[in-house]
Amino acid sequence: MRALNLQSTKLRSGKLRFGTGALLCGTLLCAGLLPGMAAAQITVLRHVTLIDGNGGAPRRNAALIVNGERIQAIADGDAPLLKEATSIDLTGKTIMPEIVNAHGHLGLLKGTKMSAANYTEDNIVRQLQQYQDYGVGAVLVMGTDRDTMYPWRAQSHAGTLPGALIYTAGRGFGVPEGVPPVSMGIDAVYRPATPEEARKDVQELAPHKPDVVKIWVDDFWGQYPKMKPEIYGAIIDEAHRHHLRVAAHIYHEEDAQKLVDLGVDILAHSVRDAEIPDSLVAEMKRKHVAYIGTMDLDEFMTAYEDDPAWLTDPFFRYALEPGVYEMITSPGYKQSIQNDKKTPAEVAALPIAFKNIKKVYDAGILVALGTDSGATPIRPFGFGEHRELQLLVKAGLTPLQAITLATKNSAELLRASGEFGVLRAGTKANFIVLDRDPSEDILNTESISSVWKNGKKVSDGPHPRSE
């Protein structure tokens, strides 16, 4: 049968089970070998433009063959089908991998308020589902979690907690009376006063197997004491002894330099006060330091002084918590941005962030997508990730480069390559179906028709709130 022409699949044995034992597939189409046994769980999405996350040109008229939770093969859109397979014609549509947010925060925000009281399972599941509606399939929570997150993370990976997949830094490391401010609802972080205390805290954190360790190295423009190098040096060293990577909140080039010197693994925000010197870029590359831009947060900081183009767009409005639209469009809010002495520096930060992300990207450093969504009411879940894609293009990346950064690279940062982030035989069938092709215009990532997780459609995209 001609169906055997489909692209070969290398299914790792044990991944797919049909009745008894694992199935062995060689170069022939597995589906052709499964009459009556597994075809019922095969779905073929046909005649679609496919962006697989690897950065190559989109494949036109493709067929994505989904078997259970995983992709079985990618084939020609006109390949003959098994009788029992479910066929979905996606003529005119584009499929891309789910977006992965390598820097977010769960359970801090509700309405217009940040509070420790918002850290509930209900609120977190609601936020995970909002991410999912926007095509964000996984999130790394950067240091604002409590120990109750660990069982939720386990359930999330077992498939029993809905929405985006959870990765976590657990309880991060801040400064006594300093950053991150307790007033933001962030009251569970470690705040070691000495290097010895810092090591003990890492030893307490390590058995929970956080995906990374998060530290904050910032003084919020002189408002708070900044973490000293001897403290973060001890945290980094102790984390490495426990085979854990360290991600740092940073703002200033000087701090980035010291952190890289002391072995930090991930810079979790852009350097925004100066261009990163060539020597530091070279050191980052040599030491395999990854970089996350979170440029949307800098834009959101001052965007509502005027009315940004997206203000009335339903794609934005649906992402807002109740009360936030009224807040950001109020004269008082606009006035507070105008009156804030930090506003000129924040406006100046974005073009510097653009320059730096392009520079580290061009140097071949691993750059992942992160947004800091959920850390304040003005950084909405889902919208922030699409806005960050647009800002990556403004910074000089092509739409396909931006998409690869948000999918393959972010999955690599989470050490989840092979599970999601790219679409090929063997990976989870986690993807977004779009009405328009985002390789032509990055705004088209917003044209979400449906979102798929583990081989099943789980959302028709963003929708108005029911509350």
- Site of tokens 């995209």: 461
362 C-beta neighbours (distance < 10 Å), count: 12
Encoded tokens for 152: 């939720």
Residue with CB nearest Zn ion? 372
Q: Which is nearer to Zn ion, 372 or 385 (CB)?
A: 372
Q: Which is nearer to Zn ion, 375 or 393 (CB)?
A: 375
Contact 92, 431 (CB under 8 A): no
Q: Which is nearer to Zn ion, 45 or 136 (CB)?
A: 136
Report d(CA 171, CA 456) in Å as an integer.
33
Alpha-carbon separation of residue 377 from 107, 114, 333, 395 (angstroms): 12, 8, 13, 25
Report d(CA 302, CA 272) in Å as an integer.
15
Please, what is the minimum distance in Å from the beta carbon of residue 293 to Zn ion? 12
Please, what is the minimum distance in Å from the beta carbon of residue 103 to Zn ion? 6
Residues found near Zn ion in the complex (CB under 5 A) = 142, 372, 375
Please, what is the minimum distance in Å from the beta carbon of residue 155 to Zn ion? 23
| Triad 358, 359, 363: Cα angle to 5° | 115
Contact 115, 144 (CB under 8 A): no
Contact 169, 247 (CB under 8 A): yes
Give the residue from 116, 94, 89 showing the smallest Cα distance to 105: 116
Residue type, 27: T
Q: Which is nearer to Zn ion, 51 or 179 (CB)?
A: 179
Please, what is the minimum distance in Å from the beta carbon of residue 341 to Zn ion? 23
Please, what is the minimum distance in Å from the beta carbon of residue 184 to Zn ion? 10
Encoded tokens for 76: 């020609």
Q: Which is nearer to Zn ion, 188 or 442 (CB)?
A: 188
DSSP 270: -
Encoded tokens for 331: 């004269």
Please, what is the minimum distance in Å from the beta carbon of residue 119 to Zn ion? 15
Please, what is the minimum distance in Å from the beta carbon of residue 375 to Zn ion? 5
Report d(CA 42, CA 31) in Å as an integer.
8
Q: Which is nearer to Zn ion, 184 or 311 (CB)?
A: 184
Q: Which is nearer to Zn ion, 96 or 179 (CB)?
A: 179
